[in-house]
Amino acid sequence: MNEQAGADRDPRGALAWLWLSAFIVVADQATKALIVTTFELYDRVQVLPIFGITRLHNTGAAFSFLASAGGWQRWFFVAIAIAVTVLVCVWLKRMPRTGESWLAASLSLIVGGAIGNVLDRLFRGHVVDFLSFHWERWFFPAFNVADMAITVGAVILLVESFFDGRRKEKII
């Protein structure tokens, strides 16, 4: 029996990729714990001329979207993140264990980032952001390890879907 075919029929599918999600959650929560224990809110350390570490709290989503919505958004974002996590895990389970590595990695990065930020919302009531890039007086919104994982996962997902579509066009 072909090992590849056996791996493709593994009932766990690509769920093995969730180790990457777990790594992201641990890295995200560890860096946030370090920031919370060493920085007061709004404390800033300039690391490079364009980069600093600043402890910020975000009750909204990306770019502080809905941050001043009155509190309901916390549970809204928790519900969305949990739903996305469940859907992605189902998708990973149904995916062949081999042959879809980029797709599985991208989904696992997104899940890890979503869980990292959900843990903040559940236990802190806000997401801790601390990575801050700027150019002179222009500041890019602060972010964290979970946000980086979600962004990288989304970019890989888009690139993979583009190239997957092009591969299918050539076959047809």
Active site members: 129, 147
Estimate the crossing angle of helix 101-124 against helix 145-171, to 10 degrees: 150
Please check whether residue 57 is in contact with residue 73, taking contact to mean a CB–CB distance below 8 angstroms.
no
Tell me the residue ranges of DSSP E strands in the chain. Answer: 44-48, 51-58, 127-135, 138-139
Backbone angles phi, psi at 131, to 5 degrees: -90, 120
Contacts of 157 (CB under 8 A, 6+ apart): 103, 106, 107, 110
Residues in a beta bridge with 127 = 58
Distance between CA atoms of residues 27 and 145, nearest Å: 7
Please check whether residue 113 is in contact with residue 150, taking contact to mean a CB–CB distance below 8 angstroms.
yes
